[in-house]
Chains A and B, each alone.
Chain A
Amino acid sequence: MKLKKAWLTAMAVATVWGAAGSAAQAAEQYIGLPSYRVGSYAAGGTGVFGGWIDYMKLINERDGGVNGVKLVWQECETEYNNARGVECYERLKQHGEQQNVLFAPVSTGITFAVFERVAQDKIPLLSIGIGRSDTADGRVFPWVFPMIATYWSQASAIVGYLGQREGGMDKLKGKKIAVLYLDFAPGKEPFPVLDRLAQKWGFTTEKIAVAMPGNEQQAQWLQIRQMRPDYVILLTYGVSNPTALKTAARTGFPADRIVGWWWAGAEEDVVPAGEAAKGFVAGAFDPAGTDFPVIQDIQKYVYAKGQGDMQDPKRVGSVYYNRGVGHGIIYVEALRLAQEKFGKGKPVTGEQMRWALENLKLDEKRLEAIGAKGLMPTLALSCADHEGSGRVRFQQWDGEKWVPVSDWIEPDRELVRSLVEESAAAYAKEKGITPRDCSKEQ
């Protein structure tokens, strides 16, 4: 009976919760954060959302908000689970008077699940480094922003990096590349690009699947050993990363010939592998490090006062954390732009936010002013291009930290873009969507 009572209380809280939010004042900007802090992906979730929240705290502490508008947020635990994510999306949608202005679940599954809802509710969906690659076509997907780089751009950048290492793309001819992928939705997303590039440059790929969760890969790596490839591209996530590196070492495959995507490129992915990870190279759109002025400021204004979000402050400056700071920067910069256009010192709406994201430009100068030069590539979005960059940088694990080994690498824009448009057009046709005419947008 006690239980029933507790349940009733919880439900009562749920009902009044919406009302409680209405205490928010006008000079506050609300955003709903669908975070995940428990379960198998907790390391990623606490890092990304911790970095994002810390950046918003920094803006509030140091600048007094964005043009005087304080940033407020509400978290909702998704557990990286699609159904819970949808519930969170609906719950975070309204907060007192304000609507949510940006939804970033940092999970491919949830991104897909809310994909069609956001257009109806007019809430921009931010999917940095996750989600569907063809959503980069802003004409068909006005509300989705797969910013910085999509899986397809990344796949192309990985091949570009390998070309650089070989001393020219034409040197890739005749090379054999094994692609080890985790058998889940994003793991297969890069295939179309890899296939076309293989055709274009004359290398061969051999795709090998690892079943979820990927904590045992002996069979796969013995196969790779038989195959004797020149490189291995690693498209794995979570526990399958250290397992892959460990098993590679066990079967005698050198770590510096393995190139991972950005979901294999966090400290959490290599530290458990110990020595075996030394020399491993992974992509990143958010290099690690605490030397960036913005991270220093977070230390000074947030952590020095004991208000940081990270349970373990040593993780500040890690890859996941900096990825979160990157999310925060994009959010705050878009807010700034929206306020400039629609009224300074006032909170913005989802529609205004969408406009701002679409017109967001972050050049070297602006990034330097924020203190994030090198933390993320320069960005320039447009009505048609919701990706804005597509550049990826590669870093190598030296056993202690990530060391950049390449500059920002451009993807094969022509090839990726044509694929994006082709796939987006097919989607538009299936769903009966008429793409926007970008020349008419201002």
Chain B
Amino acid sequence: MQFFLEVFIGGLLAGMLYALVALGFVLIFKASGVLNFAQGAMVFFAALTFVGFSDRLARWFGASPDASPVFWAALALTAAAMVLLAWVVERFMLRKLVNQPAITLFMATIGLSYLIEGVAQGTWGAAVHGLDLGIADEPVMWLLERYNLMISKFDLSAAVVAGVLVAVLALFFQYTKVGRALRAVADDHQAALSVGIPLQRIWVIVWAVAGFVAIVAGLVWGARNGVQFALTYTALKALPVLILGGLTSVPGAIVGGLIIGASEKLAEVYLGPYVGGGIDSWFPYVLALVFLLIRPEGLFGEKHIDRV
């Protein structure tokens, strides 16, 4: 039982980390109907840019890369880079692709991901970096002592961060003017335009917000596994979460993440040994597929009504 709980809770926490990446997808899909495959590349770009800036800043000012002024300055610069990226994407890509079929937009974001990867590695080099956020990666001691449960302090903190982020985003969507505009755009582009919502500015904002989410995801995943190209693969972990939760639902991303995370880990432990293991490459996708057969728009996706 203790082992089951460990796996289960560990899976839930990992699921929150997947959800963190999935959030970026949801934001962009909601507002512009683009399934942004470059989100993984953005996570990588954000993390690498952050590490690159903190290295350079530390060297210029002779401070330690972990010093808090360096951290905040690097974070601000990275955020600026993400805004710039959002602006470039809107100005040179989205604006020119208005009214194109969704598949064209999807392919364009794959092209975009090559571009981002090339810029990231070309600017900062191919070296692999460590990243220390100051959260010790060790089990939570009192849980270990009292219940012999091994729960990672780092994952727990990351899950809290993800939760806070979702709450903030939900509030932002609900109560700010920009948030309302975003929702209006998500509901109906043309109607939004006709009541005078500046569509293009909204897109820049959404992509920038997705960029900020990518920074958070990049920092968390980078601190967990190192800042390297493989951060782009976090997107593959996020996709099943996305399908399961629905492409357009922020809470869906969280619920989907929890379901995928926990069941993936349980399957690997209890089912894996019978089929040779390593099944978490496909298990989440099959699980999501099964869910889709029951609810074709995901758990929280918008129901689509066809009219002939």
Contacts and interface: CB of A to CB of B under 8 A. Distances in A.
Given A249-B137, A252-B139, A239 B11 contact: no
Given A43-B128, A209-B276, A273 B10 contact: no
Interface in B136-156: 137-139, 150, 152, 154-155
A43 B280 CA distance: 26
A251 interface: yes
A43 B14 CA distance: 27
B297 interface: no
Nearest to A219: B268
Interface stretch (A111-119, A160-168, A222-230): A222-230
A38 B237 contact: no
B278 A213 contact: no
Interface in A269-284: 269, 271-276
The size class of the interface chain A forms with chain B is 35 or more
A312 B125 contact: yes
B234 interface: yes
Contact of B277 (A39, A209, A218): A209
The size class of the interface chain B forms with chain A is 35 or more
A239 B233 contact: yes
Chain A CB within 10 Å — which of B117, B138, B228 has the most?
Answer: B228
Given A42-B229, A239-B226, A271-B129, A250 B278 contact: no
Contacts, number: 133
Given A218-B11, A219-B280, A249-B137, A225 B127 contact: no
Given A43-B127, A211-B279, A219 B265 contact: yes
The secondary-structure label for the interface of chain B is helix
A39 B230 CA distance: 9
Interface in B188-241: 221, 224-230, 232-234, 237
A39 B137 contact: no
Interface string A33-76: 00001111111011000000000000000000000000000000
A387 to B, nearest CB: 29
Contacts of A218: 7, 10-11, 14, 265
A323 interface: no
A191 to B, nearest CB: 12
A207 B152 CA distance: 24
B121 A276 contact: no
B225 A250 contact: no
Nearest to B234: A215
A347 interface: no
A251 B154 CA distance: 12
Contact of A222 (B150, B276, B279): B150
B2 to A, nearest CB: 10
A215 B232 CA distance: 11
A389 B24 CA distance: 51
A38 B130 contact: no
Nearest to A184: B278
A216 B229 contact: no
B117 A38 contact: yes
Contacts of A37: 126
Interface in B93-130: 117-118, 121, 125-130
B51 to A, nearest CB: 10
6 contacts: A40-B232, A213-B233, A218-B7, A226-B3, A238-B228, A268-B228
Q: Which 10 A-B pairs have the closest CB atoms?
A: A272-B226, A209-B278, A239-B230, A42-B126, A209-B277, A211-B281, A219-B268, A183-B278, A268-B128, A40-B229
Given A243-B225, A246-B137, 12 more contacts: A39-B117, A43-B126, A208-B277, A211-B281, A218-B11, A220-B268, A222-B10, A239-B233, A249-B138, A250-B155, A271-B128, A315-B127
